[in-house]
Amino acid sequence: MLDNILFVLLLIAAGVFFGKNVKRIAENIRLGKDVDRSDNPSARWKNMLRVALGQGKMTRRPIAGVLHIIVYVGFVIINIEVLEIIIDGITGKHRVFAGLGGLYDFLIGSFEVLAFLVWLACIIFLIRRNVLKIPRFHKPEMKGWAFEDANIILMSEIVLMSAFLIMNASDSILQARGVHHYVEAGSFPISSFLVPLLDGLSDSTLIFIERSMWWFHIIGIFAFLNYLPYSKHFHILLAFPNTYFANLKPKGQFTNLQAVKEEVEKMFDPNFDPYAAPAEGEEATEPERFGAKDVLDLTWKQLMDAYTCTECGRCTDSCPANKTGKKLSPRKIMMDVRDRIEEIGEDAKKAKAEGKPFDDGKSLLRDYISEEEVWACTSCNACVMECPVNIDPLSVIIDLRRYLVMEESKIPSELAGMLTNIENNGAPWQFSPTDRLKWAEED
């Protein structure tokens, strides 16, 4: 009974702590501006099923894609086994689903094969990152924690899968010996290779190993669960809503700012008085900011994008600006957004609850993302097309640009000349519209 009580307390603590962290992230995401992503639900479901559940964009890079699918499928299916462990832990039983007979044998055998494949895939991922040193994992933004986070997860997966197989190997021996409590159930195609290493041990030693691995495995899963909200691997959960709420419009189509639309309408309204006092009972409000200076100017979907970022670097690896040596890295843009909202989340929520504007003297623009990075983007959408979970770094870059242009009137000199020509001539070239067809005239 003591073991059961301890397990239940551990289960409750893990659930409460995880729920608290999920609530914190959800509240941070809700700090973003509203945007309507409720249209065309059938297309959104298809998008989610194809991209998030079906891993539809992963195999564009076959080696990494196939390995990731193995880990993904293994993670999802092996966790069915966690349900049995939880029921066993609460009730004190052992292999509570053993009554399924042949189906149970098939399931346990499948879990073992997947566990081995996950173990192998994680080893290959570690080699790719730390020995082969794939370039996209060693960009400037991947220094320190960003790089170590992936190694921690990969090594944790290896240890958890190893514990699962050792647990099954010792369990199978105890079953064969007819030890009390160890019902004969399950098929062990992988852990059977470990049996010769354990077969000479006494029953008590094997029980200790099996119980130790059981506890280690479940505690490791609870720890892994509560590590996710602090890690890029939170995308395991957020990939599904993020792909569902992804932008369904053509990739080259920019959004119109409602704030700009309202200001233009006021300019054309002959009855609008910019100096008029607010009506009785109304408070004077500041005009909405054009574009984005800080994360609170972004939409909730853009903040969700930041929390969903897998830091895989496919966006940066495909970015033409990054390839030519410019500072821009779409991955860094999303990491900066996440870091900034994490930094100000609690204080921003308090300010919002009190109805006060938030200002800590810093901003996403310049303190995290430089103007050089913002203007290096070619707006080609390569990063958006490459992202395996439909993140849109370009939308953040465009909103930062809009702020620079419309709020601060700051623009690179090369672009200023082009925009002046468009305004005056209707084209980026320095020719009058009347001269536009002279090239076609005969000599």
Q: Does position 439 have pLDDT exceeding 80, yes or no?
A: no
Q: Residue 209 pLDDT > 80, yes or no?
A: yes
Output the six-digit token pair for 298. Answer: 């972004």
Q: Cα separation of 51 and 49, whole Å?
A: 6
Query: The tokens of 96 are what?
Result: 């509570």
Within a 10 A sphere around the Cβ of 219, how many other Cβ atoms? 14
Q: How far apart are CA 70 and CA 122, in angstroms?
A: 10
> Rounded mean pLDDT of the chain?
91
Task: Give pLDDT tens digits for 108-137.
Answer: 999 999 999 999 999 999 999 999 999 999
Residue 284 has pLDDT above 60, yes or no: no
Amino acid sitting at position 120:
L
Contacts of residue 165, Cβ cutoff 8 Å, sequence gap at least 6: 112, 115, 116, 119, 190, 191, 194
- Segment 204-219 mean pLDDT: 93
Within 8 A by CB and 6+ apart from 171, the residues are 182, 186, 210
Mean pLDDT score, 374-398: 96
| Percentage with pLDDT > 70 across the chain | 97
Residue 424: pLDDT band (50, 70, 90) is confident
Q: How large is the average pLDDT for residues 41-64?
A: 93
Phi, psi of 285 (to 5 degrees): -120, 145
Split at pLDDT 50, 70, 90, the class of 20 is: very high
pLDDT in tens, 232-267: 989 999 999 999 999 999 988 888 888 888 888 888
- Residue 301 to residues 140, 231, 238, 260, 394: CA-CA distances in angstroms? 26, 19, 11, 20, 13
Please state, in angstroms and rounded to a whole number, the distance separating the CA atoms of residues 291 and 398: 8
DSSP H stretches of helix in 141-257:
145-176, 195-198, 203-227, 235-244
> Quick check: 172 and 195 in contact, CB under 8 A?
yes
Average pLDDT estimate for 327-353: 95
Domain residue spans in the chain? 2-240, 258-425
* Contact between residue 373 and residue 333 where contact means Cβ atoms under 8 Å apart: yes
Average pLDDT on 344-364 reads 92
Give the side-chain half-sphere CA count within 13 A for 7: 20
Average pLDDT in the 333-340 region? 97
Q: In angstroms, rounded to a whole number, what is the distance separating the alpha carbons of residues 284 and 279?
A: 9
Q: Name every residue whose Cβ is closer than 8 Å to that of residue 137 and which is 6 or more positions away in sequence.
A: 128, 129, 147, 150, 313
Specify the amino acid at residue 252: G
- DSSP one-letter code for 202: -
Q: Which two tokens stand for residue 251?
A: 């990739």
Q: Which pLDDT value is given to residue 257?
A: 83
- The amino acid occupying position 225 is L
pTM, to two decimals: 0.89
Q: Answer yes or no: is pLDDT of 443 > 80.
A: no
d(CA 18, CA 223): 10
For residues 423 and 394, which has the higher predicted lDDT (pLDDT)? Answer: 394
The amino acid that residue 6 corresponds to is: L
* Distance between CA atoms of residues 381 and 370, nearest Å: 20
Are residues 160 and 220 in contact, defined by beta-carbon separation less than 8 angstroms?
yes
Q: What is the pLDDT of residue 281?
A: 63
Answer with the residue of higher pLDDT: 185 or 283. Answer: 185
Please tell me the distance from the alpha carbon of residue 164 to that of residue 170, in angstroms, as a whole number: 10
CA distance 21 to 239: 17
The DSSP bridge partners found for residue 369 are: 365
The domain made up of 258-425 has a fold known as: Fumarate Reductase Iron-sulfur Protein; Chain B, domain 2 (1.10.1060)
What gap in Å lies between CA 183 and CA 108, rounded to an integer? Answer: 14
Under 8 Å between Cβ of 223 and 252:
no
- Among 303-312, 316-325, 369-378, 414-423, whose mean pLDDT is lowest? 414-423
Within 10 A of 335 (CB to CB), how many other CB atoms are there? Answer: 19
